Amino acid sequence: MRCLLPLKDGSYRMSSTWWLSEICVHILGPRLSGHMCSHSYCEIENVLYFAAHRALMWYDFQVKNWRDLKGLVGLPKFPPLAQIRLADYGGKIVAMWDVNVSYGNGSSYKTRIWCAEISLERLNSCEIWGKVEWVDIMHTILDSFILVKVIAATV
């Protein structure tokens, strides 16, 4: 698992060692730290991206603040309790999340697994835009499950 390690000069370094909850809380604050440790993040070209509060965000290390990823036309809002996972897919974000829908007489639920590929463009130091390349339902599940991790393989 990767984590951010604070350095003496005030900057941060990505590390592939272990996750320390103190670092989570230090960078994200108590409100977001639980989400961050749930694999709802990825790092692409030294930028940390994160899915929470029904949106995608990125961390601006210069001002030490989370910013919304702009654009994202065509990306559905994530449900409030969705399991959202992000991965680096050749410099793009791949997002996978679940949506529960009722069927039949309304007493049964099935889960649709959605996936989106998002290209990224940095316009300036404080603005990153995402363009939804594609988004679709990938699978429907009738049993309970846990979406653990998204791993992108490129050939």
pTM of this structure: 0.73
Distance CA 146, CA 46 (A): 28
- Cα 47 to Cα 41, 54, 121, distances in angstroms: 10, 20, 12
Average confidence (pLDDT) over 19-25: 40
Residue 7: Cβ within 10 Å count? 9
Contacts with 43 (C-beta within 8 Å, 6 or more apart), sequence order? 2, 14, 49, 88
CB 47 within 8 A of CB 41: no
Distance between CA atoms of residues 103 and 55, nearest Å? 27
Pairing of strands 127-141, 70-71: parallel
Q: Is the pLDDT of residue 155 over 90?
A: no
pLDDT band for position 81 (50/70/90)? confident
How far, in Å, CA of 71 to CA of 84, rounded?
19
User: Residue 28: exposed, middle, or buried by beta-carbon count in 10 A (0-12, 13-18, 19+)?
Assistant: buried
Tens of pLDDT, residue by residue over 113-127, are 999 999 999 998 889
| pLDDT tens readout for residues 34-46 | 444 456 889 998 8
